[in-house]
Amino acid sequence: MMEEQARIMQALSGVTLAGHSVQGGMGLPPPHGHEGTDGDGRKQDIGDILHQIMTITDQSLDEAQAKKHGLNCHRMKPALFSVLCEIKEKTGLSIRGAQEQDPPDPQLMRLDNMLLAEGVSGPEKGGGSAAAAAAAAAAGGGADSSIEHSDYRAKLTQIRQIYHTELEKYEQACNEFTTHVMNLLREQSRTRPISPKEIERMVGIIHRKFSSIQMQLKQSTCEAVMILRSRFLDARRKRRNFSKQATEILNEYFYSHLSNPYPSEEAKEELAKKCSITVSQGVGTTITVSQVSNWFGNKRIRYKKNIGKFQEEANLYAAKTAVTATHAVAAAIHNSQANSPTTPNSGFQMKDEEFQLDSAESKNSLLTNMFTAGSSASFSLPNSGDMFMNMQSLNGASYQGAQVGDNVQSQGDTIRHAISQTVGYNDGLRHPMYSPHSLNGNGGWHGAPTPSSVTSPNEGPGSVHSDTSN
DNA sequence: CGGCATGATTAAGG
DNA sequence: CCTTAATCATGCCG
């Protein structure tokens, strides 16, 4: 602005102030009646006026005020004013021409695109609160992915809200400031050479300024989104162990459903609920259904991979469930088993097998490997004839019992329930042989759920009861 | 710090 | 969608 003025002055003085001597600028120059004949006089006149204008700032306020009034009343003022406007416009145009084009700014576009992609600057979904409510509703609806991401979404909504309010604020401020400046300029245009184009230009400058501020806003919003996102991903990737109680519950379920450790959706939900409830005293990690699924997936594969390693655990949990589930019935069955002739003492036998475990474990893992690798029919017999027989005699029953238990367990505490539980317990203790047996030829559990197919070979003559009692 | 345990993720298959 | 199997990345413990 100052430069511009100086330039104008320079131009004016260059053109019209040729050879003007400086005289003490005091007092109002006479309003000059002799505008008449000679052009030299007119030039002199204009030069005087200009000189007064230029020196007006050197004078005291009162003097300047007075002089200003005088100049305003000068009859040549309109003409001079228009000339000044014209010159200013020209210089202004030339200046503007150099800086006018305003490239779409790739960075801004990138930010816009990202905000759009992130759903921040997109169509406002009926207000942030509504979106949050929708997210919450979806979370409550049971879709676990929504549960996992509801937090993220809530935060994103928050960001979006802030972004929009800020954007609005900026817009409003921009408009206010623009009108303010325009009013000022309009007002000043009465005393200062200001053309409409100049006002327009000012408005443009203001808008550019504000849009740069907007870009900052967008940038920081983007940053916030990125931070939120990365933190969320980190949090997701970062593993936090479940609490002891949660794993206990999961293990309990797993080992009590060892023959078919595939919890249904409802079971998973229940487990998730139970775990997060139990966990409440510990870290506030809520365990979701998908986490339960993960857990079971991991557990199945890891159990299958190295059954020996999990025996202790299996015993522990199977025993626990058996004890907690049934008391008298379990004892009764135990006794009956102990007294039965064919299986003189199940307790002892189990111990035997437990001892065998060490020696049999290598065999066992071998067996498992063969199960997983080779065909099921060829190896099962040669590898461990006696073991397999034991397995058959014991497992045929226990297997089916477990199956029944799986089906019944969720509802009932009937006698069969109790039996299945105890049988499950036995299964747990009979680990080395039972487990691979319950796996199908490929080492998976998937063959197990169909009792008929599995039980037919060794269960032709025997029934559940006979096997259990024997 | 090394090694194992463990939750999460991914790819492939149904 | 589910599963399995492999893998990743971290947590934890000696």
d(CA A185, CA A196): 9
Contact A398, A451 (CB under 8 A): no
Residue A385 Cβ under 7 A from any strand C atom: no
Confidence of residue A93 (pLDDT cuts 50, 70, 90): low
Q: Answer whether residue A177 shows pLDDT above 80.
A: yes
d(CA A310, CA A307): 5
- Chain C: positions less than 7 Å from a protein CB are 2-7, 9-12
The set of long-range contacts for A52-58, using a CB threshold of 8 Å and a minimum separation of 24, is: A52/A25, A54/A9, A54/A13, A55/A25, A58/A25
Of the ranges A45-59, A235-249, A334-348, A396-410, the best mean pLDDT one: A235-249
Q: Quick check: helix, strand or coil at residue A383?
A: helix
With CA of A446 and C1' of each nucleotide, the nearest comes out as C3
d(CA A257, CA A83): 98
Q: Answer whether residue A293 shows pLDDT above 80.
A: yes
Confidence of residue A112 (pLDDT cuts 50, 70, 90): confident
Instruction: Report pLDDT digits (tens) over A443-457.
Output: 556 544 434 333 333
Q: Answer whether residue A372 shows pLDDT above 50.
A: no
Chain A window 166-225: residues with CB closer than 7 Å to nucleic chain C are: none
Measure A239 CA to B1 C1' (Å). Answer: 20
Tokens in use for A244?
A: 């002891």
pLDDT at A26: 43
Residue A142 Cβ under 7 A from any strand C atom: no
Give this prediction's pTM. 0.45
With CA of A263 and C1' of each nucleotide, the nearest comes out as C2
Measure A451 CA to C2 C1' (Å). Answer: 21
Measure A304 CA to B3 C1' (Å). Answer: 22
Backbone phi and psi for residue A326, each to the nearest 5 degrees, phi listed first: -125, 145
Residue A265 Cβ under 7 A from any strand C atom: yes
The set of long-range contacts for A30-35, using a CB threshold of 8 Å and a minimum separation of 24, is: A31/A70, A31/A74, A31/A75
Average confidence score pLDDT of chain A:
62
Proportion of chain A above pLDDT 90, given as a percent: 7
Give the DSSP H or E segment for A444: none
C-alpha dihedral, A452 to A455 to A460 to A464, nearest 10°: -100
**A46 vs A342, more confident:** A46
Measure A238 CA to B1 C1' (Å). Answer: 21
Contact A93, A119 (CB under 8 A): no
Residue A285 Cβ under 7 A from any strand C atom: no
pLDDT at A315: 83
**A224 vs A434, more confident:** A224
- Chain B: positions less than 7 Å from a protein CB are 5-10
Q: Averaged over A381-389, what is the pLDDT?
A: 34
Measure A241 CA to C1 C1' (Å). Answer: 27
Residue A372 Cβ under 7 A from any strand C atom: yes
CA-nearest of A164, A159, A113 to A132 is A159
**A415 vs A145, more confident:** A145
What residues approach strand B to within 7 A at the CB? A 236-237, 239-242, 247, 291, 294-295, 297-298, 302, 309
